[in-house]
Structure 1
Amino acid sequence: MPIESLRLLLVEDNDLDAMFITRVFERATVIDAQIERASSLGEAFEKLGQSDFDIVLLDLGLPDSNGLQSIRAIRERTTSIPIVVQTGDDRIETGFAAIEAGAQDFLSKHDLKDHLLTRLTVHAILRQRQMLELQEASLRDSMTGIANRRCCDIEFKRRSEILSHDGVPFCVGIVDIDHFKSVNDSGGHDLGDRVIRQVARSLRDTCRPKDLVARIGGEEFAVIFSDTTIDELGSLQQKHRRAIEELESLTEEIKVTVSIGATCVLASDDNRSAFQRADSALYTAKKAGRNQCRIETAIRPAINGQIA
């Protein structure tokens, strides 16, 4: 998609440089740029918190920050906005270091020509968009459109860090479609794929906004229940199970149900140990007759100690 207009945050403490850059964009005939200026990194943070920008044009020499520190500080607050660095340092090593720190591109202040500055700005926005699209695609299951295993692993790690630092509990569950082999045997893989997509939609729609549902393989899904204690877990599991049980049948012969096993995550857990307990609870649910929910409760003493 071509870029005809953009909102640019200019982080520049030098009045003459800021005036020159503003005039460059005012003279541009192919793009309409709305520019807001910040004279310090602190002011830039305020503006980033107040408005949405398409790009940040960043001077590396600021009164309250210097060099690559400014790039990293902005990146800690936002990963989606592209950063183009302008610097009085002509060394190519400085430019490459800026890109490694999180900038999309760099430009020496001695090369601030009209066409070059506007071209770099537009290209940086387009590259950032493409990169974000690729990242998003790498975290999605191609069949169902929900999160994939990689996305689940990333979210588990993030939630584990929050648990360790702030003590916010979370739980994980594994959802398995009951008698899925018979679905494929009776209707072929096309029907099986339709059932998987139907269950994925139900899990996604039933999840709370802060939860994550992911397809982790075949007819198996994972759910990360954020900010959830073991006492709250059962009702959330049952909500998912009932929603799927009430789905409209794709054929008269097939009634879709799921079994769900879940557990609360301990601070000492890694991804593998937590999901192994959820898988054990899932096995118990299937052994009990399927279309069941089970929670691994053997860790309750450890959870109580963790809370205390």
Structure 2
Amino acid sequence: MHRRHLHVLVVEDSDADAVVVRERLTEAALVDVRVERVASLGQAVSALGQTAFDAVIYDMGLPDAQGLPGFRELALAAPDTPIVILTGNDDAELASTALAERAQEFLPKQMMDSPWLLRAVQHAIERHRLLVEVESLALEDPVTGLYNRRGLDFLGRQHLRHADRTGSPVTLLYLDLDAFKAINDAHGHAYGDQVLRAVAEALSSCCRDVDIAARVGGDEFALLVVGDQSGAGSSIAERVGTAIDGLVDRGLVPMDFGVSIGTAQRPGGDRRMDLDHLLRIADLDMYRDKAARRVSRSTQAVLRP
């Protein structure tokens, strides 16, 4: 009979509790569970950045993270991994809030020494898989595979809340393809879709896994960056512009293809600008860039012999 293999990260500071969890996870006959244990939120975030896990079991009473704030930071570090919460606090309101914020299971610690623990992990993995399938239909742009506007709104607000808690800077880029309608009219919509996918690939090449790249309109894209890369919005815009220019060199887009890019930045610790505000600022900056590009093209045409 086929044995299922699972790799589970256990985030638990109590040695005794960690031993119990490991025993309960590894005693099943039909499931081969490999357990990796860390004792703090910081170690968990580091481990998740280096290794893919099938699930995380998270103790909400860690020395460096208490309650929901710690869970939220973990969830942001592991957006694609189901999380099972263990807690000594059997609080119905806390459980409801955690489940609403995408925990897949919430178990009081008195249940960890039972067969229910492994079953809860397996159910969490399956529920998460189904949730990802449903959300991919609702939040993903079918042409490019990037997030759509709904995905940017949903995940962007989560990322801004994380930036509020950590004091991280935020950069938002807004991109508009120049004369995209003319490309569709001249070459057809199938070719236009190829251009959109090429731009999406170029944009994704400038992203970290935690950044949000989205197609937010017919010929409009956005990139939301929180944290390390956010200190220099112009450099991010330059990288994106260079990547898109490379599409011309590779013959993936027409020779006269261009993109106008606007930037909005929110310094670390500044909570005054929400996602809509950042989008408005970046959109206005994009139109300034488009106007400047138009003037530049006109000047070049006049000077051309």
Note if contact 1:177-1:256 (Cα within 8 Å) is conserved in structure 2.
no
Structure 1: 5+ residue stretches without partners: 293-308
- Using a 3 Å threshold, how does the CA distance of structure 1 residues 256 and 125 change in structure 2: closer, same or farther? same
Residues 6-31 of structure 1 deviation map (CA, whole Å, 9 limit, x = unaligned):
3352738494x766655444431011
SS in 2 for 1:127: helix
8 Å Cα contact 1:12/1:58 also seen in 2? no
Contact 1:249/1:255 (CA < 8 Å) preserved in 2? Answer: no
Cα contact 1:82–1:103 (8 A) shared by 2: yes
Matched ranges for 1:1-308 at <5 A: 3-9=4-10, 11=12, 13=14, 15=16, 22-35=22-35, 43-45=39-41, 47-49=43-45, 51=47, 53-57=53-57, 69-70=66-67, 72-78=69-75, 79=78, 80-85=81-86, 96=96, 99-100=99-100, 103-107=103-107, 109=110, 113-114=114-115, 116-132=116-132, 134-135=134-135, 138-153=138-153, 154-155=155-156, 158=159, 168=169, 170=171, 172-178=173-179, 180-205=180-205, 207=206, 209=208, 213-223=213-223, 226-227=229-230, 229=232, 232=235, 235-236=238-239, 239-240=242-243, 242-248=245-251, 255-265=255-265, 270-285=277-292, 287-288=294-295
- Cα 1:163–1:231, aligned 2, differ >3 Å: closer, same or farther? farther
TM-aligned CA deviation for residue 176 of structure 1: 1.3
Equivalent pair of 2:146/2:200 in contact (CA under 8 Å): yes
Map Cα deviations across residues 174-202 of structure 1 (whole Å, 9 max, x no partner).
23132x33333333322222222233333
Shift in Å, 1:145: 1.6
Deviations 1:36-56 (A, max 9, x none): 567xxxx34365256455444
SS of 1:227's equivalent in the other structure is: helix
1:87 and 1:160 map into 2 onto residues whose CA distance is 26
How big is the alpha-carbon RMSD for the aligned residues of Structure 1 and Structure 2? 4.7
What are the superposed Cα offsets for residues 266-308 of structure 1, whole Å, 9 maximum, x if unpaired?
666522431332242144146437699xxxxxxxxxxxxxxxx
CA distance in 1, matches of 2:162, 2:64: 28
**One-letter identity of the residue aligned with 1:83:** V
Q: CA deviation at 1:120?
A: 1.8
Give the letter for the 2:74 counterpart.
R
TM-score scaled by length of structure 1: 0.64
SS at match of 2:221: strand
How far off is 1:261 after superposition?
Answer: 3.9
Percent identity over the alignment is 22
Question: Residues 261, 4 of structure 1: CA spacing in aligned structure 2 closer, same or farther, 3 A cutoff?
Answer: closer
Offset at residue 257 of structure 1 (A): 0.5
Q: Could you tell me which runs of 5 or more consecutive residues in structure 2 were left unpaired when the two chains were aligned.
A: 300-305
The one-letter code of the counterpart of 2:5 is: E
| Larger RCO, structures 1/2 (Cα 8 Å, 6+ apart) | 2
CA distance in 2, matches of 1:165, 1:18: 29
- Compute the displacement of 1:119 (Å): 1.7
8 Å CA contact retained: 1:259, 1:290: no
Aligned pair count reads: 277
1:167 and 1:46 mapped to 2: Cα distance?
Answer: 17
Of the structure 1 ranges 122-131 and 161-170, higher mean CA displacement relative to structure 2 is found in 161-170
Larger-Rg structure: 1
Q: Is the alpha carbon distance of 1:258 and 1:131 closer, same or farther for their aligned partners in structure 2, counting shifts above 3 Å?
A: same
1:303: which partner in 2? none
Q: TM-score, normalised by structure 2?
A: 0.64
